[in-house]
Amino acid sequence: MWPLLVTSIAALTVVIERIVFIVRERSLREPEVVEKILSAVEDGDRESAIQAGQTSRDFVARTLVYGLSHSETSFSNALLRAASLELKRFNQGLVVLDTIITLSPLLGLLGTVTGMIHAFSLLGGAELDAPAAITGGIAEALIATAFGLAIAILCLIPYNYLNGRLEEARHEIEDAASNLEILLAHAAPGA
């Protein structure tokens, strides 16, 4: 049962930290800055676009500014690198939750098996006269499986929610980056 307690505490810690992260990222969103960046690029003014988003704490704006700032080597690679760095922040902790979802039912089964072994070891001793001790031991062993399954089930909900926010962030970055690439390609022939 101790390993299950440790996994449940770890899961709770990760879930709380990730929810706080998502709320903080939402509060830092500045879609108007992203629009300013795109408008400045559309007008052919990269420097104004970079300046518009340089102080922004919006992850999409940071991605676009990084791409524009490093476009002299490879604009696409700069955007990919910036997007990767931003999405890495959204992905933190998901591996831990995924591991806990997989591990906790197995730990519960392990607890059940060891509890059953202990309960059936009582059959050979003097406890044969006390069937309540054996059935109580079996019931106690099954609690480990129930607890392990409960941890996995309860972790699955925030895991899917956090994966959804990761995909949402990926979509927002890809959409803005594609829009920026189209604007730059359209501005290039006239330049």
Q: pLDDT for 59-93, tens place per residue? A: 999 999 999 998 788 888 999 999 999 999 999 99
Task: Give the pLDDT confidence of 108-134 residue by residue, as tens digits.
Answer: 999 888 888 877 776 665 555 566 666
Number of domains in the chain: 1
Asked whether residue 141 carries a pLDDT value surpassing 50, the answer given is: yes
In this structure, the number of other CB atoms found within 10 A of the CB of residue 63 comes to: 29
pTM equals 0.84
Asked if 182 contacts 73 with a C-beta cutoff of 8 angstroms, the reply is no
Average pLDDT along the chain: 89
Q: Which domain holds residue 118?
A: 2-187
Asked if 42 contacts 187 with a C-beta cutoff of 8 angstroms, the reply is yes
